[in-house]
Amino acid sequence: MTSTQSDLAGLSRFIFRAPSWYSSLAFALLLAALAGVAAFDSGAYARTWRGLFFLGRDAWEGIFFIGVPTVVAAFGTTGVDRFVGGKLTWNRSSLLALVSEIIVVVIVTLAAIVSVFTGLGQQFVFDALVVALASVFAFRLLVVMAVSRSSLLVAAIPASIQTVAAAVLLFIYSGTLRLLSVGGTVLDAYLMPYLARSSDAPAEFSAISAEHFLLLAVTCGLYALSVYAFVVAVDRPWRRSLGVSLLDFLRGFVGHVAEGSRELEEFFQQLGEEAIVPVSVLSFRTAAGEEKARFVLPMIHPGPMGEIGGGNFPERVAGDCSALVFPPHATAGHDFNLVTEGEVDSILDAANAAADRISYANEATRSVRTQSGEASMLGQAFGDDALLISTYAPGFADDVEYGVGLSTAAEARTNGLDDVVLVDAHNSNDGLNGPDLGHVTPGSQRAFDMIGAASVSGQRLSTADRHAPRLGVAWDETDWGPTDGIGPLGVRVAVTAVDGQETAYVLVDGNNMEPGLRGELVDALVETGPVDEAEVMTTDTHIVNTVEADNQVGAAIEWDDLRTLVCDLIEAARADLEPVEAGVAVERAEVTVFGNDRTETLASHANAVVAMGGAFAVSIILAAVAVSVLIFLFA
Q: Flag whether pLDDT at 376 surpasses 70.
A: yes
Q: Flag whether pLDDT at 210 surpasses 90.
A: no
Q: Flag whether pLDDT at 41 surpasses 70.
A: no
Q: Assign 514 to helix, strand or coil.
A: coil
- Residue 148 sits at the vertex; the CA angle it makes with 144 and 150, to the nearest 5 degrees, is 85
Looking at mean pLDDT, say which of 330-339, 408-417, 437-446, 577-586 comes out highest. Answer: 577-586
Q: Flag whether pLDDT at 496 surpasses 80.
A: yes
Q: Flag whether pLDDT at 543 surpasses 90.
A: no
Q: Flag whether pLDDT at 53 surpasses 70.
A: no
Higher pLDDT, 521 or 256: 521
Confidence at 272, pLDDT banded by 50, 70, 90: confident
Q: Flag whether pLDDT at 271 surpasses 90.
A: no
Provide φ and ψ at 364, rounded to 5°: -155, 165
Helix axes 122-148, 614-634, angle to 10 degrees: 140
Q: Flag whether pLDDT at 113 surpasses 90.
A: no
pLDDT per residue over 359-375, tens digit each?
Answer: 999 999 999 999 999 99
**Closest residue by Cα to residue 235 from 596, 606, 604:** 606
DSSP string, 413-455: HTTT-SSEEEEE------TT-SS----B-TTSHHHHHHHHHHH
Q: Which pLDDT score, from 0 to 100, does residue 50 have?
A: 44
Q: Which pLDDT score, from 0 to 100, does residue 243 have?
A: 75
Q: Which pLDDT score, from 0 to 100, does residue 197 have?
A: 53
Q: Which residues on adjacent β-strands are paired with residue 429?
A: none
The Cα 205–Cα 209 span in angstroms is: 9
Mean pLDDT confidence for 333-357: 91
Higher pLDDT, 271 or 585: 585
3-state secondary structure 532-555: CEEEEEECCCCHHHHCCCCCCECC
- Does the predicted model carry a pTM greater than 0.85? no
Q: Which residues on adjacent β-strands are paired with residue 498?
A: 469, 501
Confidence at 601, pLDDT banded by 50, 70, 90: low
Beta strand pairing call for 385-391 and 420-424: parallel
Judge contact between 577 and 546, C-beta under 8 A.
no
The Cα 73–Cα 161 span in angstroms is: 6
Judge contact between 1 and 398, C-beta under 8 A.
yes
Higher pLDDT, 90 or 360: 360
H/E element holding 178?
helix 176-179
Percent of the chain with pLDDT over 90: 44
DSSP string, 200-259: GS-GGGGG--HHHHHHHHHHHHHHHHHHHHHHHHHHHHHHHHTSS-HHHHHHHHHHHHHH
Q: What is each CA distance from 119 to 112, 114, 634, in whole angstroms? A: 10, 8, 20
Count of other CB atoms within 10 angstroms of residue 99: 16
Mean pLDDT confidence for 93-107: 90
The Cα 306–Cα 252 span in angstroms is: 13
Count of other CB atoms within 10 angstroms of residue 239: 12
**Closest residue by Cα to residue 366 from 476, 457, 500, 490:** 500
Q: Assign 358 to helix, strand or coil.
A: coil
Q: Where are the domains of the chain?
A: 16-240, 273-594
Q: Which residues on adjacent β-strands are paired with residue 284?
A: 293, 582
Mean pLDDT confidence for 460-466: 96
- Residue 206 sits at the vertex; the CA angle it makes with 203 and 209, to the nearest 5 degrees, is 160
The Cα 393–Cα 352 span in angstroms is: 33
Q: Flag whether pLDDT at 206 surpasses 70.
A: no
pLDDT per residue over 2-27, tens digit each?
Answer: 555 554 555 454 445 567 888 888 98
